[in-house]
Amino acid sequence: MITSLSIKNYALIEKLTIDFSKGFSIITGETGAGKSIILGALGLVLGKRADLTSLKNKEEKCIIEAQFEISKYNLRLFFEANDLDYEDDTIIRREILPSGKSRAFINDSPVNLQELQDLSLFLIDIHSQQQTQELSDEGVQFKIIDAIAENSEIIEAYQQLLKTYKSDKSKLNALLKKQSDAGKEQEYNTFLLNELVAAKLKTGEQEELESDFEKLNNVEIIKEAIDKSFAIANEEQFGVFHNLNEIKTSLQKIAPFSTEYQILFERVTSVAIEFDDVSKELQNASEKLLNDPTQLEFISQKLQLIYNLQKKHQVSSIDELIQIQVNLENSVLELGNIEEEIAVLSNSIEQKIHELNTLSVKIHQNREKAIPVLSNQLITILETLGMPNVRFKMELLPSENYFQNGKDELQFLFSANKGTDFGLLKKVASGGEMSRIMLAVKAILAQYSKLPTLIFDEIDTGVSGEIAIRMGEIMKEMSAKMQIFAITHLPQIAAKGDSHFKVFKSTVDDDTQSELKLLTQDERVIEIAQMLSGAVVSDSALNHAKALLN
């Protein structure tokens, strides 16, 4: 529960510190006195966005600090999950700087607004008049039913499963589109791949084939040149070999006379050895050369196939063709993988559909059990609030759609009087009836909620007299289990509080300020008397105020 609130430099508040107690607290004050400012400051502590208009003095920062006693609300796990220091008396501080920047702290540890908002869900529910109107919203109605049905854990599991189901569906649709797009080109890609595979291409093959083609295509010219060269080299009397041997013999005779001649002899000897090897190579080359028209035709066809493939794929080498073949193989393989992925995803989706349906049936069954409990409790409370003939008709309509909270649609109908047809809340319920219904809902939910604090902001709209007294009594009963605040204009409700705060404006040196004060018993009598009779308090109003308080 909230134990204290400190406000500095916010709206019409220069500086304010107030302590709160458990039980039922009342906040009253004239319209415009600053009740909304108190709620606004509390909203900032709970993570609402702020701007420079929040600052009373634009040159100084605004600081709002609230202390909460949370020992009984099992929040240690939240603090551990968010890497925050846990304290039974936790302090939340919000600062708005003159620059417009905002900072937030939990037990002096800096946090972002999302973390602040997440924690606030466990601390305070501020019920506004707008929230009363939201009672006609189907999502709000489901939350009420699900709270009584104790569906929170099942719905959380359902929502996590629904998230993965939608993710799988999205992936499947993307794969199906990719498969469709790829399928249009698949036949052509397969043809291209088969064509390349059939060619049996190898790195370096083109250069080798082109060399062999030139040899076979010019075999007669080549053989004639080689044979002629071999003949010149080996002619018995005038061949190159014979002449080299003659030179070598001559130099051998004079080699001993000089190093110079010895070197020349050795060089000629080396040339003779090399030329002998060349001669043998010429002989081998001549013997290998065969006029083979069949092989020439095969090479010619293979080269033409390579040239055609290069032209088709707009490349100039076999290596590039081989890379295209690899890419096509990957493309065909990828399409096969897509089919496998589609099969796996489809099975996963079917399994998730089965699990979602199982969970949604459980959610539905729990709701079916909770609806008569909710209806009966609402009727019981509302009968004491001056609605003796109230009736509710809540019907769950099964759907094939997967909503965020199951597969149900809800028809939440209401009738306030005998002989009147059921109708939608927002169409047939008056403002006063909506206020009473909302109070009844909150009273019921208080039995299921572990929320420490609930603030009613003028939930008494449209009611008065005995009904207001009963509303006050209900809030008083709720305060036995949680901390209750009621901002009210009705003396009947104000008199039911355990403590009573008054919001009022004061003027200091032409500066208007809002202040919040805890009233003494005597001050409280006067405040309630003024609420009954106006600024001029009569004796009868005082007596009436004392009677209400007693």
Distance between CA atoms of residues 477 and 381, nearest Å: 12
**In 46-165, at which residue ranges do the beta strands (DSSP E only) sit?**
62-69, 89-96, 102-106, 109-111, 124-127
What is the token pair recorded at 534?
């106006």
Q: Is 353 helix (H, G, I), strand (E, B) or coil?
A: helix
Q: What is the mean pLDDT of the chain?
A: 87
Q: SS3 breakdown of the chain: % helix, strand, coil, rounded to 5?
A: 60, 20, 25
Contact 2, 124 (CB under 8 A): yes
Q: State the pLDDT at residue 65.
A: 95
> Which pLDDT tens digit goes with each residue over 124-156?
888 877 777 778 888 889 999 999 999 989 999
Highest mean pLDDT among 55-69, 91-105, 153-167, 254-268: 153-167
Task: Report the pLDDT averaged over residues 420-443.
Answer: 86
pTM above 0.85, yes or no: no
Is residue 27 pLDDT above 90, yes or no?
yes
| Residue 335's pLDDT band (cuts 50, 70, 90) | low
Distance between CA atoms of 325 and 119, rounded to whole angstroms? 59
| Confidence band for 72, pLDDT divided at 50, 70 and 90 | confident
Name the amino acid, one letter, at 488.
T
- The reported pLDDT for the residue numbered 89 is 93
- Per-residue pLDDT at 520 exceeds 70: yes
Q: Is 41 left (phi over 0), alpha (psi -120 to 50) or beta?
A: alpha
Q: Which residue has the tokens 């293979």?
A: 302
List the one residue out of 360, 423, 424 whose CA is nearest residue 165.
360
Q: Which of 332, 305, 331, 334 is nearest to 196 (CA)?
A: 305
Distance CA 231, CA 238 (A): 10
Confidence of residue 391 (pLDDT cuts 50, 70, 90): very high
Is the Cβ–Cβ distance between 493 and 468 less than 8 Å?
A: yes
Q: What is the CA radius of gyration of the chain?
A: 48
pLDDT of residue 205: 81
Looking at residue 69, its pLDDT comes to 93
Instruction: Work out the widest C-alpha separation in the chain, in whole angstroms.
Output: 160
183 has a pLDDT exceeding 70: no
- Confidence category of residue 433, pLDDT binned at 50, 70, 90: confident
Task: Provide the pLDDT for residue 513.
Answer: 85
What domains appear along the chain, each with residue ranges and CATH number? 1-123+451-519 (3.40.50.300), 178-337 (no CATH)
What DSSP designation does 218 have? Answer: T
